[in-house]
Amino acid sequence: MDASRAKTYVQRLATAARSAAAELATTTGGRRDAALRACADALSDARADLKAANEKDLARSEEFGLSAAMVKRLTLDDQRIDAMAAALREMALQVDPVGKAVAAYNRPNGLRIEKRRVPIGVVAIVFESRPNVTSDAAGLCLKSGNASILRGGKEAVHSNLAIAAALRAGLAAAELPAAAVTVIDNPDRAIVPALCRAAGLVDLIVPRGGKGLISAVTEAATIPVIKHYDGICHVYVHAAADPDAAERIARNAKCQYPGVCNAMETLLIDAAVAEAFLPRIAAALRAEGVELRGCPRCRALVGDMAPATEDDWRAEYLDLVLAVRIVDGLDAAVAHINEYGSGHTDAIVTAEIAAAERFVAAVDSASVMVNASTRFSDGGEYGLGAEIGISTDKLHARGPMGAEDLTTYKWIVTGQGHVRE
């Protein structure tokens, strides 16, 4: 498909989505919740179809060169299907983000001003691999009154289309327009750039996946993008840290689930406590199978530690590997984090109020943990319900994004024939 055909193709889909969005904008939350439950039922009912479609994708996984981990993420078994349906039912139980007043007040002239949450309109989500993203993202968009356009990876196209068919059955059961959820079935590569430039039809694009996908979308986009880069998360053990808490947090942040974006990748230890703390934590982490790579001062304190290079400070291992550095005080820790971190989640362990406050103010990250593991950086743990992802951008939404982050607001000004003097 050339760029002009892709443009026409996207315009047709997005125009239908836009009209569905206009209908969604005036539905009650009850109707949207009923649709979410109907979609959950439809997914359960379509269990056999979903697994058959998924088989077709799995049969081609070698052709696409998928790793074992990717094949695992691609697989739809009963447990995954139940989890998708359960997530939709849980969304239906959450408070409706639409209609919530962000602010409301009277002006001295008697005008009533209200800043009220409303759906954004049409949200496009471009993602790779995991088919459950299709139902999660469509569900969150529906919850928040948005029409969604979903473009998954070619390696999951059969699974995604089977999920889409189930969701569409759910929408029909709830008498909502089919174009409220559009799954793009055409694998043509020209479609994503066309989606990225559909100003006036698509309001937001959210890329989820590898860095290649994210930077391709960012480069091409003329519409707003919210990105979900991965995390290079730090734990800084301050001079006034409780050593037991520091050990517990560092172990949890590294080892509890090393393959995810909120796992720790670099441990920073204050020079004031390094001599006492580093040998202890090194032994504890090694006992859990963690490979340590350290700065020269670390290596002088602990034997057999590989040297950390500049690349290690920027690495997202997603594995049982950890970079360790001794820093001279809080400001040096902050400087390291702001230089090498990804603005995702960074923690301080300290008993000192002033140190915590300074760290919180100075670290330029979406989530800053004080005496808590980086692993808590998650929509569920923050009580948001389902999450569309974790934004490492600063505009519109930062950190874990829930249904409310898929809304904008409208100013509603009510007078009694007021005119401006």
418 binds a copy of itself, rule: CB under 8 A:
yes
Q: Are 294 and 307 in contact (CB under 8 A)?
A: yes
Alpha carbon distance 134, 159 (integer Å): 9
Smallest separation (angstroms) from a copy of itself to the CB of 399: 5
Contacts (CB under 8 A) with a copy of itself, residues 42-81? none
Cα separation values, 32 from 144, 168, 408, Å = 8, 13, 18
169 binds a copy of itself, rule: CB under 8 A:
no
256 binds a copy of itself, rule: CB under 8 A:
yes
Contacts (CB under 8 A) with a copy of itself, residues 206-235? 218-219, 221-222, 224-226
Smallest separation (angstroms) from a copy of itself to the CB of 158: 33
**Residues in contact with 35: Cβ distance below 8 Å, sequence separation at least 6, in sequence order:** 142, 170, 171, 173, 174, 176, 180
Q: Are 348 and 373 in contact (CB under 8 A)?
A: no
* Residues near a copy of itself (CB under 8 A), total: 72
338 binds a copy of itself, rule: CB under 8 A:
yes
* Other beta carbons less than 10 A from residue 296's beta carbon: 11
Strands 345-349 and 321-327: unpaired
367 binds a copy of itself, rule: CB under 8 A:
yes
Q: Which of 148, 159, 252, 392: binder of a copy of itself (CB under 8 A)? A: 252
271 binds a copy of itself, rule: CB under 8 A:
no
Cα separation values, 300 from 280, 304, 314, 326, Å = 14, 10, 22, 11
Q: Which two tokens stand for residue 312?
A: 């290690």
Alpha carbon distance 137, 36 (integer Å): 12
131 binds a copy of itself, rule: CB under 8 A:
no
Cβ-based nearer residue to a copy of itself, 6 or 249: 249
Cβ-based nearer residue to a copy of itself, 159 or 367: 367
Alpha carbon distance 190, 308 (integer Å): 41
* Angle of CA points 168, 139, 209, to nearest 5°: 105
Cβ-based nearer residue to a copy of itself, 242 or 316: 242
Q: List the x/- string, 172-211, binding to a copy of itself by CB under 8 A.
A: ---------------------------x---xx-------
Smallest separation (angstroms) from a copy of itself to the CB of 356: 8
Cβ-based nearer residue to a copy of itself, 64 or 409: 409
Ordered alpha helix ranges (H), 174-295: 191-196, 211-220, 243-255, 271-287
Cβ-based nearer residue to a copy of itself, 68 or 419: 419
Contacts (CB under 8 A) with a copy of itself, residues 92-111? 105, 107, 111
Closest CA to 338 of 316, 363, 314: 363
244 binds a copy of itself, rule: CB under 8 A:
yes
Smallest separation (angstroms) from a copy of itself to the CB of 313: 16
